Structure 1
């Protein structure tokens, strides 16, 4: 676990879904100590699908 990254990147309890998506994508790149939650992953997948259709 990258505790330095976690200490510097606190995700607030009232974060919007966009903030959560951004945080978890950065987290995956910098730490990745746990998987992306299903609801956040669903939004990421949906955006990827929409982007592929454009």
Structure 2
């Protein structure tokens, strides 16, 4: 998928983001842009969050 520049401009990763913030950001990123893969270190948590959001 191509880079969604507008999304990236309005959704900056916080400086010194906590693990929870990183998981939330990458889940939102995967839904809105997906220009790169989810980092392996947080991938299971991000995928769990994405699956949980689909049920709503």
Provide the TM-score with structure 2 as the length reference.
Answer: 0.72
Q: How does 1:1-54 map to 2 (within 5 A)?
A: 1-42=3-44, 44=45, 48=48
Provide the TM-score with structure 1 as the length reference.
Answer: 0.75
Consecutive unaligned residues of structure 1, counting only runs of 5 or more, are: 49-54
Corresponding pairs, count: 45
Consecutive unaligned residues of structure 2, counting only runs of 5 or more, are: 49-56
CA RMSD of aligned residues (A): 1.5
**Structure number having the greater helix percentage:** 1
Q: Runs ≥4 in structure 1, deviation > 2 angstroms?
A: none
Larger Cα Rg: Structure 1 or Structure 2? Answer: 1
